[in-house]
Each structure stands twice: as C-alpha cells, then as structure tokens.
A and B are shown apart, each in its own frame.
Chain A
C-alpha cells in the first residue's frame, strides 16, 4: 500500500492524558500536513512539516500541541493533557518530492480522537 497511512484509526483518551497520532506519508513524499476536522466543519490546517523541519505551524494551538517529522520514521502529532474540545478527526496529508512541495495533497484515513 503506497498511500498515506495513519494510526491508530481510533483513539480514546481521558482528560489530562496524552494523545500521539502517527502518519507515514506516501512513498517518495517529503512534505506532511496535519488537519483537524470537526463535525459539520471544514478541514482546518494545523501544521506543515518537511523532514526534521517545521515549515508552518500557524494553525496549531500554542499550548499542548506539538508535531515532528524525524529523519527516520513517521510524523507525530502530539497532544498533551487532552481536553474534551480536542475530540475530532485528525487527518494527515502528504505531497511533493525533494525540496519543493507540489500543491496536490493526498490524505490518509484519519485518526478519530475521543476524549472522555
């Protein structure tokens, strides 16, 4: 399967716990994007990363949220001390090869986070 992979597909956490969401981009892609989707809402951009670099994190809350895309392994979106308002579907997308992103982004199946 050469598509974008995300795991887990579903994640349940209690308030105050940490959530770790993983994303493996499409083979050959070096640009990763994270989005959040609430019911009846559009996809909201959170963060854009290249290998070992955060390019744009303007859509990510300053507190409790962080993202990384290490040289080896998947991209990680980390939410510390989760609150009920963090419940949403989180999607990862990837694009591009080399140093230049290509506009078309390909999405993974998403991780549905439920905070109890």
Chain B
C-alpha cells in the first residue's frame, strides 16, 4: 500500500535557525511529489511539484529536494511568518494523490 510519512510531527525553531522537514514515501510509480503549506483554518497552499530524483526547486527561504525514497523541505533562516503546517503528497500511477499528516512548524521570534 502506498504511504507517505512526514517527520518530525512538530518542530520549533528560533528565528534564523535553519532546518529540514522530511517526507518519506513508498509509492507504486511516482508521477509527482508535492509540497503544500497550510495555515490554521485555511486550505493548503501549493508550494512545489517535483517529478524525478535529483530535482530541486526553490522559493524564497524554501528549497525542496527529491530522492527515490524521500523528499526534504529545507528552510533557511526562517521567520515567524513561516510558521505553518507543511504537507507532502505523492501522485501514484493509479492517479491517486496520497497526503502525509504534515509537520507543524513553529518559528519563535
């Protein structure tokens, strides 16, 4: 069964303290891996799509990378406004999108 596991479940960082969020996946025929940001009471906001191992994408303080088994979302010098839940999802060959439970990130000023 296809699975997406995100770690850690929650992460508290000081402002400016860089770190990485992990998304491990087991999927039949990966067609794409997605990262979303979700703020409390709101819908997920699209960040990145990665399609193949070795691919990297960047947006402001965020960089997403992909290997054959996992993806990392690196956050560099985070600010309090980066606090949110970050969701990872995979698109498999059966056209299913499977989400992880997310990592709750809290950046302390």
Contacts and interface: CB of A to CB of B under 8 A. Distances in A.
**B-side interface mostly:** strand
B45 interface: yes
Contacts, number: 51
B44 A91 contact: yes
B60 interface: no
B97 A105 contact: yes
A63 interface: no
Interface stretch (A12-20, A37-45, A66-74, A77-85): A37-45
B46 A42 contact: no
Nearest to B43: A107
Given A56-B95, A105-B97, A42 B102 contact: yes
Given A56-B95, A104-B49, A109 B102 contact: no
A98 to B, nearest CB: 16
